[in-house]
Structure 1
Amino acid sequence: MNPDTSAATAEMHTAFLSLLAQAEAALATVLRPWMGYQVAIVVALFLVASLSAHFFRARFDTWLRTREGWPKWRLRLGLMVNRRMRMIVFVALIWLVYSVMREVTWPSRSYLLGIVANLATAWLFIAFATRLIVNPLLRALVRYGAWAWVTLSILNLTDEAQGLLDGIAFTMGDTRLSLWLLIKAIALLTVLIAGARFVTTAGAASIRQNDDISPSMQVLAIKAMQVVLFGAAFFTGLKLVGVDLTGLAVLSGAIGVGLGFGLQKVVSNLVSGIIILLDKSIKPGDVISLGDTFGWIASLGARYVSVVTRDGKEYLIPNEDLITGQVVNWSHSNEFVRLDIFFGTAYGDDPHLVRKVAVAAAKSVPRVLSDRAPVCHIVGFGDSSVDYILRFWIRDPTEGLTNIRGNVFLALWDAFKDNGISIPFPQREVRMLRDPAEAQAAASALD
């Protein structure tokens, strides 16, 4: 057998025996006569807390429903307090009873009460703290793991438990990985990442509420804060566990090679996203056109931009396409957009009247701006009509362009009908030649 394996097995066996001995000693202490009434006090306090919780929970729930103006995080905290009302009342009662008994009797007569009070307080704090973890499975693992470790700490069994877990290990080269190291790494990383997530969520809400920061800079600030805090939490957790970070230099070199060959597009999109946020060329809420896609920007991501069209479709356009392609931003510097529509009228209609009627018809449409008056000009003389262009301005491109053009065309139709202005259409005259001699003469004339 490998000497290292034998030593680890012997160490684990010794730790287990020590842990068992301490458990037997603690059990013998609990079975002493003066411990019985302390157990009865704990049970009685738990029953009183259960009955009192029903009374307090109903009134607290009624009071909480009247807090309509509170932010969501405060309402969620109130719901957590309401759900944990029995434990909160139990902790308050047992600490009160323990403090009184410490003053009126010997410490040994309240020893068990002190342990239960500490355990209940620690369990209650862990229950509240683990609510910061969103994933239910991870939250349950962290909660029960923390409860187990706090229980061992309060019972002074941490050294034995640590020795037992540390004995379960395997070696990879010069690195020894034990179950204790793995548990400690998971616990520290979970706590640090949960804290970083809480800080980034609160910071992002504050940044979004600041009207002095442009939307694009808000997104950039939030992304930068997330990268810094989550990166710091990850590397700090590894450092606290005892992982040598200098060994990551080789890993970072391998990652760099992988990025150079396999992740060129991903890195290009990431860099393009940073450029877009810095130069403020587009921002959430802008109306853009890219190829056949027309819509407004719903969000800016690290890899893509979400564009929502008028028909409800959401396009995820890579950031690189917005940098290298031609993008029409309808609301880059201002919200005003000019639209042109073309039409024609018959040669018998007065062009001065046509222009006047067309301008008045455009002004009658609600979305057309009156402070930037529509204009109408003749652009040519066609085969069967006099051709015009009607130009007008709007300031809400997010409401659609096709619909406003349709409304102006409809207003023109009604206005032309009321004023006797006709809209011509091409006419063709076809003659049927039945006499062959006549057809031959017509063909010779064409030649």
Structure 2
Amino acid sequence: MTLISTNETINSISQDSLTAMLNDYFVIAQDALTSMGFVVQLSIVASIYLFSYLIASRLRKKISPIKESADSSTHSLQSVVNRFLDVVFPMLAISFLTLATLLGERYDIETWLINTVLIIAVLAFLNTVVGAVVEGENLIAFMRWVMLPLVFLHLVGILPHIISVLETVAINIGNVEVSFYGIGRVLVFGIILFWLGRAFRMVGRNLIRNHKNLDVTTKEVFTKVFEVALFCVGFLVLLNIMGINLTALAVFGGALGVGLGLGLQTIASNFISGIIILLDHSLTIGDFVELEDGSKGFVREFRMRYTVLETYDGKDILVPNEKFINSLLTNWTHKDPKQRYRIDFSVAYKTDIRAMCDIIRAAVAEHPQVISGDDIPFEERPDCEIDSFGDSGVNMFVEFWMYGVDDGKNRVGGDLLLIVFETLRKHNIEIPFPQREVRVLNDKELSALKAHEDRKDD
């Protein structure tokens, strides 16, 4: 009985204490919500949001959103401007709330409501930005469940205390001290730098490649330089975050130079060869090239180490850049997309060659991809000529000019062979085939032939 009564007494005291505490909090909240300071802060917050909305609306009227086109040549600056117009209102509100907080601290004015609204506005804005800009479910989850809580802890002033606790938990590896805070900082900022580097790389590459005042090779050079500079900046920032003294890079640079001269000379040679190719305009995107070893295809992309050639059968050939410098290269379409080709055929000796040539020229000129017409120079019009005199007939050929390469979608040679065949058959022109004459000799003729051969031997 005594134990039960004691527990009831303790429970009664706990409930009374909890009730009293809740009543105290309720009274404090009621006093805060009914105070003149709350009304003033609420008015300031409402005025800030109204003023920010008016400025954002005015700015949106001045800078109208750019309609994005489905065309691949659409400038990437369009999406940047449109996204800026979408976030200008919350950015203005956050800026004015921050300014109000600083002024309140300076003149000793209550700003607890403004601080609360500022924290909520910052977290909501960052969450919206993460959903609109970041790609990839894993990266979005990392930003929302790691970065946003860290931002919240920083805004409420708890993060410095957590950092000081994490710094005390460390592991000594020789002369190096590794703390939990250092590991977490490298992981968090490393992921952020990786994402920022990829995002800036994509935006910068699109901006450069879609610039109308630059040619293709210059765009590729600027793209390469931008990617290398971005990588170097990210690498240096990550080293600084890791706490590595950047003055030590002088020694590292000397070691790297020795490494390039010994083990990495092929990679360095390919990189420098790629820069030379882009600067001397010997290759451009879309050129059809043929290498000394017989590899051929269209130039589709320049990379730091190699160039991508796309063949007609859908294969990608990765050719080291130095191969374009050190070996023989045939560029079919660099200066002039027009190419000359020929097809061969034969006709019988009894054919009227002059009339037949006129007929073949006219038939070949009707092909839509063959360059022909009175306005075309004479040397570029279809021409039919004698190549040689064969055993069974006259060997002829047709020369013609066309745009592009005679392969893939432009299989003109096969079409013209069929046209020539049908034209010859239509005009009853004989296409010769190898013939052999066989004579059967009797006994007298064999004896005479043998005697003749014997006399020749004597």
Per the TM superposition, whether the score is higher than 0.5 is yes
| Correspondence for 2:426 among 413, 418, 425 | 418
Following the alignment from structure 1 to structure 2, what is the Cα–Cα distance between the partners of residues 424 and 35?
112
Following the alignment from structure 1 to structure 2, what is the Cα–Cα distance between the partners of residues 440 and 264?
80
Following the alignment from structure 2 to structure 1, what is the Cα–Cα distance between the partners of residues 319 and 367?
34
Tell me if the contact between 1:118 and 1:154 (Cα under 8 Å) persists in the aligned partners: no
Following the alignment from structure 2 to structure 1, what is the Cα–Cα distance between the partners of residues 23 and 347?
104
Tell me if the contact between 1:286 and 1:296 (Cα under 8 Å) persists in the aligned partners: yes
The answer to whether structure 1 residue 121 and structure 2 residue 121 are counterparts is yes
TM-score (norm 1): 0.71
* Residue of structure 2 equivalent to 1:347: 349
- Look up the equivalent residue of 1:394 and give its one-letter code: M
* Residue of structure 1 equivalent to 2:306: 304
Tell me if the contact between 2:404 and 2:410 (Cα under 8 Å) persists in the aligned partners: no
| Correspondence for 2:325 among 306, 323, 332 | 323
Shift of 1:314: 2.1
The answer to whether structure 1 residue 375 and structure 2 residue 377 are counterparts is no
Which consecutive unaligned segments of at least 5 residues does structure 2 have?
Answer: 1-20, 34-65
* Corresponding residue SS for 1:397: coil
Q: Judging changes above 3 Å, is the alpha-carbon distance between structure 1 residues 229 and 132 closer, same or farther for their aligned structure 2 residues?
A: farther
Q: Percent identity?
A: 28
For residues 419-434 of structure 1, the aligned pairs below 5 Å read: 419-431=427-439
Following the alignment from structure 1 to structure 2, what is the Cα–Cα distance between the partners of residues 179 and 29?
39
* Residue of structure 2 equivalent to 1:33: 26
* Residue of structure 2 equivalent to 1:150: 151
Following the alignment from structure 2 to structure 1, what is the Cα–Cα distance between the partners of residues 305 and 23?
61
Tell me if the contact between 2:299 and 2:308 (Cα under 8 Å) persists in the aligned partners: yes
| 1:84-110 CA distance string (max 9 Å, x none) | 9xxx8xx99xx9xx99xx9xxxx88x8
* Residue of structure 2 equivalent to 1:266: 267
| Correspondence for 2:365 among 363, 366, 371 | 363
- Look up the equivalent residue of 2:324 and give its one-letter code: L
Q: Judging changes above 3 Å, is the alpha-carbon distance between structure 1 residues 436 and 292 closer, same or farther for their aligned structure 2 residues?
A: farther
TM-score (norm 2): 0.69
What is the RMSD computed on CA atoms of the aligned residues? Answer: 4.1
* Residue of structure 2 equivalent to 1:247: 248
Q: How many matched pairs? A: 378
* Corresponding residue SS for 1:380: strand
Tell me if the contact between 1:297 and 1:308 (Cα under 8 Å) persists in the aligned partners: yes
- Look up the equivalent residue of 1:397 and give its one-letter code: V
Q: Judging changes above 3 Å, is the alpha-carbon distance between structure 1 residues 302 and 39 closer, same or farther for their aligned structure 2 residues?
A: farther
Following the alignment from structure 1 to structure 2, what is the Cα–Cα distance between the partners of residues 334 and 206?
28
* Corresponding residue SS for 1:211: coil
Following the alignment from structure 2 to structure 1, what is the Cα–Cα distance between the partners of residues 23 and 321?
67
Tell me if the contact between 1:296 and 1:309 (Cα under 8 Å) persists in the aligned partners: yes
Shift of 1:333: 0.5
Q: More relative contact order in 1 or in 2 (CA 8 Å, sep 6+)?
A: 1
Structure 1 window deviating more from structure 2 (396-405 vs 280-289): it is 396-405
The answer to whether structure 1 residue 212 and structure 2 residue 213 are counterparts is yes
Q: Judging changes above 3 Å, is the alpha-carbon distance between structure 1 residues 225 and 395 closer, same or farther for their aligned structure 2 residues?
A: same
Shift of 1:399: 5.9
* Residue of structure 2 equivalent to 1:46: none
Following the alignment from structure 2 to structure 1, what is the Cα–Cα distance between the partners of residues 347 and 278?
49
- Look up the equivalent residue of 2:123 and give its one-letter code: W
Following the alignment from structure 2 to structure 1, what is the Cα–Cα distance between the partners of residues 438 and 24?
118
| 1:58-83 CA distance string (max 9 Å, x none) | xxxxxxxx97759789779999999x
Q: Judging changes above 3 Å, is the alpha-carbon distance between structure 1 residues 137 and 253 closer, same or farther for their aligned structure 2 residues?
A: farther
Following the alignment from structure 1 to structure 2, what is the Cα–Cα distance between the partners of residues 282 and 330?
11
* Residue of structure 1 equivalent to 2:232: 231
The structure with the larger Rg is: 2
* Residue of structure 1 equivalent to 2:47: none
* Residue of structure 2 equivalent to 1:333: 335
Following the alignment from structure 1 to structure 2, what is the Cα–Cα distance between the partners of residues 161 and 266?
45
Structure 1 window deviating more from structure 2 (398-407 vs 154-163): it is 398-407
